[in-house]
Amino acid sequence: MEYANNILETIGNTPLVKINRLTAGLPCLVLAKYETFNPGNSTKDRMALKMIEDAEASGLLKPGGTIIEGTSGNTGMGLALAAIVKGYRMICVINDKQSREKIDILKAVGSEVHVCPTDVAPEDPRSYYSTARRLAEELPNAWYVNQYDNPSNAQAHFESTGPEIWKQTDGKVTHFVVGVGTGGTISGVGRYLKSQNPNVKVWGVDTYGSVFKKYHETGIFDKQEIYPYITEGIGEDILPENVDFDIIDGFTKVTDKDAAVYTRRLAREEGMFLGNSAGAAIKGVLQLQDKFKPDDVVVVLFHDHGSRYVGKIYNDRWMEQQGFLEADQQAEKIKTTNK
């Protein structure tokens, strides 16, 4: 008989899927690393389990302890699944721009959820960074995960995601494209791929309102770059230690509108029901197309599942309120005309 001993054993070994319609004009093969096949429906399951196992081994996380993390939702989900299996209490601190679905899903898997304001500085005591740290200090036998600076985050992708992509492409991958938030995915995967072939190019997808692109290009942390944005799961107003800028060859920025429209296009035109950052990622691939040659194999990683965004990206009223619906309807007309 073939079966997993628990749900955590099903993490990883996600498929590569060819993108067809949205990349039809590109000269290269574009493959999606489809991370929604993880049990928590996101790539964050990988690093969540790794961070917990490493904390257990080092004695930071003790039996019966409480796991506390600031999360945009997906890391919290991965941590919550591991907490259930391993017998820990889970507290997630989330900011108020995240979808209602993410909050409800975290509660559904037994997490306590604290919601904090988005539009405050990271050092503000009301921010989700500060709140998570405070709770970890106040509660007995608590461990603050700190995915942004926890080296186990990037190491998880160096040990699993990177080797999977290398094996699945038979070592033919030439470009890796992914949205950047904590930096664990791009740094871990990028480091592994470049260890196998230093010529592999690693591209980060950033969003307007985030500091990554300018910092990478100039070395300047420009606070004028920081302002509220809608796209979930990518971009930051801090520089996480997990972002290895030396691994990254370049960034491209995608607007909130394009991220939303292309998320919906992935669902309609590729049958890929994905989260907000996937739209940003595939638009980022299209913006980088002048970097690609006919024999290239481009792998783009899609982080999470569309079920977390039904009330936002996939809701016409929400799209209309943001001023995005008209652009999406225009994209639908073009698709219909080209059939």
CATH fold of the domain at 44-144? Rossmann fold (3.40.50)
pTM over 0.85: yes
Q: Which amino acid is at 297?
A: V
Q: Where are the domains of the chain?
A: 7-37+159-330, 44-144
pLDDT by residue (tens digit) across 11-40?
Answer: 999 999 999 999 999 999 999 999 999 999
Question: What confidence tier does 337 reach under pLDDT thresholds 50, 70, 90?
Answer: low
Average pLDDT over residues 49-73: 96
The one catalytic residue in 33, 44, 213, 257 is 44
DSSP 243: -
At 156 the pLDDT is 98
Task: State residue 46's pLDDT score.
Answer: 98
Q: Using an 8 Å Cβ cutoff, are 69 and 75 in contact?
A: yes
Strands 89-95 and 250-254: unpaired
| HSE value, Cβ hemisphere, 13 Å, CA-based, for 96 | 8
Residue 265 burial class via C-beta count within 10 angstroms: exposed 0-12, middle 13-18, buried 19 and up: buried
Average pLDDT, the chain: 95
- Does 336 have pLDDT greater than 80? no
Q: Does residue 265 surpass a pLDDT of 70?
A: yes
Beta strand residue intervals within the chain, DSSP E: 16-18, 29-34, 66-70, 89-95, 112-116, 142-144, 175-179, 201-207, 250-254, 297-302
Q: What percent of the chain has pLDDT over 90?
A: 91
Equal CATH topology for 7-37+159-330 and 44-144:
yes
What b-and-e string marks burial along 199-237, b requiring 16 or more CB atoms within 10 Å of the CB?
ebbbbbbbbbbbbbbbbbeeeeeeeebbeebbbbbbbbb
Distance of CA 254 to the CA centre of its chain: 15
- State the average pLDDT over residues 83-103: 92
Whether CATH 3.40.50.1100 fits 7-37+159-330: yes
Residue 99's pLDDT is 82
- The model's confidence at residue 65, banded by pLDDT at 50, 70 and 90, is very high
pLDDT of residue 339 exceeding 60, the answer is: no
What pLDDT is attached to residue 128? 87
Q: How many whole angstroms separate alpha carbon 45 and alpha carbon 111? A: 15
For the question of residue 335 being annotated catalytic, the response is no
pLDDT cut 70: percent of the chain above it = 99
**Average pLDDT of the segment spanning 43-72:** 96
